[in-house]
Structure 1
């Protein structure tokens, strides 16, 4: 199983939020320094979110993210504020490994087919952000239907990966809710990366046993509740 340290960017700083609420942000310094920290610890991939984009300013942090892609040399999956096929294409052309489509994928599912055909399925990831079992969009402020049904739709349209985020536990550092993960993995055939609640070595073990392709480490990693090296060891 893969481990993806999160580098979430807001106003040019690496931050972590609690359940996506901007006012809950805790800053952890320069995103490039954070990326180097995880690279030095053995990371071979990063999960990067342009939070300013998610909050409506998609152009903000663009230069910083490009520098991060260039300097880190790591596999990078990028989400946050990608609101059109053109936006997605521009990011992919900068060297981002794959883009994460969440709200756009719900509003325009055909964008997945379009991008998969042009860039390849492996560079397209559909985001399934679930709140109470329904997908959450527009900064997790609205819900739009059953998360399993949407995941199956995204797979049929050609997504190469799914990112499942359990909004109900995201940022709380209280552990993963494993049953929704198992249910999702049992219903689809594409790799599933899980975010939200990964707070202990036992969570990593549970996700590995459930068949997850990867796990995103966010708040618990930055607060020190989970150790990156131990998570990496447990994932193997």
Structure 2
């Protein structure tokens, strides 16, 4: 299981939001590329970057910051936020993003997953299944669908998704721990790697995740607020 630090970008800065709600910034750090390099220096094998402005509708914002991060680190970067078209995804894959994270687009138009998977390989295509009140939400977590993560996970796997980023929005940024049941249900439903995000607050949370088939865990607020020491977390990293 990979321990994956999050670098969320808003207005050109590294931030952490509560439940993804704009205006709830609890951490604001200048120069995200320096933050990214620091995680690499500490031993990160993968970096999780989200263009929050893109997720909320301004896809062009922060692209310069993304390019700086790609130029600064040598580890793979998985990136999401504001990828609304196949061309958006292609542009990012072509500049060196290792994996694109497709959320709204994948849920609303699954054929785009198939198209990108056929062109770039399924291993470079992640789909984001963000769960709120047991239903997948899209459009910056503002719109609820009628399906749960397991249902969508199975259908998108058939379309060529190479992995799933599963986020429990109910606990995202809340520093309150999380319920393992929705994740276990998804893990049992699909055969592709699942990365978990949301509410990871302690080393015990990481240890519990490491006992499952979870491929990786994204950690944000707990790292930036010092609740979890990244070096200690790496002790639970098992690279398959």
Bin of the TM-score, shorter chain as denominator length:
over 0.9
Count of matched residue positions in the alignment of Structure 1 and Structure 2? 236
Q: Is this contact kept in 2: 1:165–1:195, CA < 8 A?
A: yes
Equivalent of residue 187 in structure 2, options 173, 182, 185: 185
Equivalent of residue 216 in structure 2, options 214, 217, 227: 214
Kindly report which structure 2 residues correspond to 1:1-236, keeping only aligned pairs within 5 A, or say none.
1-25=1-25, 26-144=27-145, 145-236=147-238
Output the CA distance in 1 between the equivalents of 2:115 and 2:100.
13
Output the CA distance in 2 between the equivalents of 1:39 and 1:146.
34
Output the CA distance in 2 between the equivalents of 1:152 and 1:67.
35
TM-score (norm 1): 0.98
Output the CA distance in 2 between the equivalents of 1:30 and 1:70.
13
SS at match of 1:21: coil
Unaligned runs of 5+ in 2: none
Output the CA distance in 2 between the equivalents of 1:131 and 1:146.
9
SS at match of 2:114: helix
1:47-67: CA deviation from partner (whole Å, max 9, x where unpaired): 000011011110111111012
Structure 1 residue runs of 4+, over 4 Å off? Answer: none
SS at match of 2:211: helix
Q: Is this contact kept in 2: 1:201–1:226, CA < 8 A?
A: yes
SS at match of 1:210: coil
Q: Is this contact kept in 2: 1:52–1:58, CA < 8 A?
A: yes
Of 181-190 and 139-148, more deviation after overlay is shown by 139-148
Output the CA distance in 2 between the equivalents of 1:206 and 1:181.
12
Unaligned runs of 5+ in 1: none
Cα-Cα RMSD:
0.9
